[in-house]
Amino acid sequence: MKKSILLLSVIIIFTLSSCVSGPSAAKHLEALKVVGSNLCDSQGNPVQLRGMSSHKLQHFGRFMNVDTFTWLRDEWKCNVVRGALYTYEQGYISNFKEKLKKKMIEIVEGAIDTGIYVIIDWHILRDGDPNIYKEESKEFFIEMATMFGEYPNVIYEICNEPNGKTVTWGDKIKPYADYIIPAIRAVDPDNIIIVGSGTWSQDIHDAAADPLEYENIMYSCHFYAGSHHESLRTRINDAITGKFGNVIPVFVTEWGTTDSSGNGPVYEKESKTWITFLNENNISWVNWSLCDMNEGSAALLPGAAYTGGWPMDMLSESGSLVYSLLRN
């Protein structure tokens, strides 16, 4: 009898220790999939992700940690965060590879432990053409997929904002996606992959006319409330309803309350118009950005704690607006 009790105790202790240690102990979320134009749960029910993006991890990565994510989840009602891994501008390519990779790993593990989704953003910006560093991108995403592909929390954004006159969907962006996506899928066959389009991820009509031939692919569209208006909303609506030839799913992985510079005044009315449109169409969105930078789109004021717990007087005008939009 004593041996049986001892054996049962050992089993219980082992089981409990297995359930609370390491990344494998994290809260597993619902696996996501694409059905038509919708992001859905594993049962095919439409879901909407809403949350916050970091600014440059090399400068503002300190705000991206498990304590902040817990605050964003509980107080801001976020269910997704996005880590902006700049490739250029003193980013991943510029001799900061291992430091920034370590930070991205911390972000992903923190999101998994918090029970929220996380977008791993390969943040193309000034480099324009994603093919410039496609080998580095392939290596990076294979490593991320190998480490985290078993977790449904993880979403891959393989090119943030392709831009430049010659960087079009057919000539540069789709070929890049056709190079990177099979490398991810060889390791992670089903987590969501998001692909940008030309003109800073606004040319979604090109992607809709010639979509990628893979499952669980979404297409990003970015906007800033002071610069982009009804015409871009119409383009999004046409993309998700098939007016360009194919129905495609859109994910707004970046939007700001200011103009497209990320600075200047907050456009509250236009921001609310945009969010109403996205919510009515079940389009997921992530706001730019969770930092204390001295610019209009920053959510926090200088001196804000790195670990959440911000009182309202530490939120910027933009942060206060986005906070209310998330909670409502």
Question: So which residues are the catalytic ones?
Answer: 161, 254
Assign 51 to helix, strand or coil. Answer: strand
Please give the structure tokens belonging to residue 100.
Answer: 């920034």
DSSP secondary structure, 231-264, as one string: HHHHHHHHHHHTTTSS---EEEEEEESS-TTS-S
Those residues with Cβ within 8 angstroms of residue 133's Cβ, 6 or more apart along the chain or in another chain: 87, 93, 127
Query: H or E segment at 56?
Result: strand 50-56
Those residues with Cβ within 8 angstroms of residue 232's Cβ, 6 or more apart along the chain or in another chain: 202, 221, 223
Q: Are 192 and 216 in contact (CB under 8 A)?
A: yes
β-strand partners of 290 = 54
Any idea how long the chain is? 328
Measured distance CA(219)–CA(191) in Å, rounded: 14
Q: Are 244 and 285 in contact (CB under 8 A)?
A: no
